[in-house]
Amino acid sequence: MIILTAAMVTAGFFPVQSQVVEDFKPASSNQPGKAYPMVNSEGRVRAQIMAPDANYVKLDIGGVKYDLVKDESGLWTGESAPQDVGFHYYQLNIDGASVPDPGSMVYFGACRWGSGIEVPSDDQDIFALKNVPHGHVHEIFFPSASTNVSRRAFVYTPPGYTKELSNKYPVLYLQHGYCENEFSWPTQGYANLIMDNLIAGGKAKPFIIVMTYGMTNDVAMGGLRNFDIKPFQTVLTEELIPYIDSNFRTLANQENRAMAGLSMGAFETRLVTLNKPDVFSYYGLFSGGVYNADDLKEHKNLKLVFMSSGSKERPDGVRNAAAALQAAGINAVSYVSEGTAHEFHTWRRSLHQMAQMLFR
C-alpha cells in the first residue's frame, strides 16, 4: 500500500503527467470515429497508438518530440506540452520511422500529406460548418501553355452562384504558403466555410475565391533562395485569370480583383502586385512582408492594403507599415492574431478580417 502525502506530491514524486488537466476530447481534425489524438483545455495533444513490439514511440509536434509510454497491452500513450490554439502539423515517430498518425485526417503542409491537429480556439465558430447557405468549391483543371500541363485550382463560388445566373462577382486570388499547396486554403484554411458564415451574417459581400498551386517552378526542391516569381506570375496573370474570367461569371476588372497570400504566398502577392500594378485593387499580406509607401506610388486604383501577423510573430512590423502607409494617404490596415504564431489559425483569422473589407 502506498501512502501519498501533499509533501510527496509537491516534491515532485509524480511524473509530469500528474500536472496534466484530464479533460481531453477527440480532436475535431480526427478521422471519422477515431478517439485519438485528443486535446485538452490546456492545448496539450495526447496521442495513442498500438505498437506492441516497438522500442519507443514519440509524438513529434512543434519541433519537439514527446515520449509516449507503453502499457501492458502494447498501447502507447503520451502528450505534448500546451500548443497554441489553432492548427498544427505533426507526426508520430515509431522506432525512428516518421509516419502519419492513423487517427488523424490528412492535410498537406510541411511539404507532405500528413497529420494535423486542431487545438480549440474561442473563435473557431468562424469556420464551423453551420446550417447556412453554402457556396461550392470547384476543383478545376485549367490549361497552362507556359507549363504545358492542365493545372489544378479550387474555386469557391458563393451561395446562390449556381442559381442566380445573371449575377457577376468580384474575385480574390488567395495563395498558400511554402510547402503547402492548393488544398491548404480549402482544407485546413476553411476558406469556404469562413465565407459562407460571413455572407450568411451579412458581414461580407459575396465574391469568388481562386486558390491554385503557387510553387510553379518547383521551389520546394531549390528552396526559397532561388525563388523566381516569373513562372507563377505567368500562370496566374496570363493563364488562370483569363480562364476564370471566361469560365466564371466574374466582374473582370481591376476594381473587382484582389490578391492575398500567407507567408510565401504573401511574398508572391507582393511581387506580383508590384510587377503588375494594374491587375488588382486589394492587396493582402498574411504573415509575409509589408509594403512601403514608395512601393505603391504608381498604384492608381489601389483600394486596400491589408497586412497581418500572429502576435507570436513580429506584429510590430505590420503595425508600423500600416501606420506609414496611412500617413502617405493609402488605405492600409494591420491585423494581429492574438496568441498565435506562423500557423494556419493566424491566416484563417486574417482572411476572416480582410474578407469583410473587400469590394466595398
Residues in contact with a copy of itself by the rule CB under 8 A: 31-33, 49-57, 74, 91-92, 94-102, 105-106, 112-114, 129-131, 134, 136-143, 149-150, 155, 162-163, 165, 186, 192, 220-221, 246-248
Q: How far is the CB of 315 from a copy of itself (least distance, A)?
A: 33
For residue 160, give Cα distances in angstroms to 3, 46, 137, 174: 67, 42, 13, 21
Nearer to a copy of itself, 124 or 331 (CB): 124
Nearer to a copy of itself, 84 or 196 (CB): 196
Q: Helix crossing, 191-200 with 344-355: angle to 10°?
A: 30
Nearer to a copy of itself, 102 or 338 (CB): 102
How many C-beta neighbours within 10 Å does residue 65 have? 15
Q: How far is the CB of 179 from a copy of itself (least distance, A)?
A: 11
Provide the grid cell at 81.
506540452
Q: How far is the CB of 190 from a copy of itself (least distance, A)?
A: 12
Residue 88 C-beta-side C-alpha neighbours within 13 Å:
25
Q: How far is the CB of 228 from a copy of itself (least distance, A)?
A: 19
Q: How far is the CB of 84 from a copy of itself (least distance, A)?
A: 25
Nearer to a copy of itself, 21 or 220 (CB): 220
Nearer to a copy of itself, 153 or 332 (CB): 153
How many C-beta neighbours within 10 Å does residue 337 have? 29
Whether the Cβ atoms of residue 239 and residue 144 lie closer than 8 Å to each other:
yes
Place of cell 464551423: 128
Dist. CA 185–CA 142, nearest whole Å: 19
Nearer to a copy of itself, 91 or 175 (CB): 91
For residue 132, give Cα distances in angstroms to 51, 126, 202, 349: 43, 13, 12, 20
For residue 106, give Cα distances in angstroms to 9, 100, 126, 314, 354: 40, 8, 21, 30, 27
Nearer to a copy of itself, 142 or 267 (CB): 142
Q: How far is the CB of 31 from a copy of itself (least distance, A)?
A: 6
SS (H, E, C) 69-89: EECCCCEEEEECCCCCCEEEE
Q: How far is the CB of 107 from a copy of itself (least distance, A)?
A: 10
